[in-house]
Chain A
Amino acid sequence: AQTVTQSQPEMSVQEAETVTLSCTYDTSENNYYLFWYKQPPSRQMILVIRQEAYKQQNATENRFSVNFQKAAKSFSLKISDSQLGDTAMYFCAFVPYNDMRFGAGTRLTVKP
Chain B
Amino acid sequence: DVKVTQSSRYLVKRTGEKVFLECVQDMDHENMFWYRQDPGLGLRLIYFSYDVKMKEKGDIPEGYSVSREKKERFSLILESASTNQTSMYLCASSPMDSYGYTFGSGTRLTVV
Contacts and interface: CB of A to CB of B under 8 A. Distances in A.
Interface string B37-70: 0001111110010100000001000000000000
A99 B103 contact: no
Contact of B103 (A4, A44, A98): A44
Contacts of A47: 100-101
Contacts of A16: none
A102 interface: yes
Interface in B7-44: 31, 33, 35, 40-44
Contacts of A104: 40-42
Contacts of A44: 103, 105-106
A43 B106 contact: yes
A103 B99 CA distance: 17
A29 B40 CA distance: 26
A99 B45 contact: yes
A42 B50 CA distance: 28
A91 B41 CA distance: 11
Interface of A: 4, 6, 9, 33, 35, 42-45, 47, 50, 91, 93, 95, 98-105
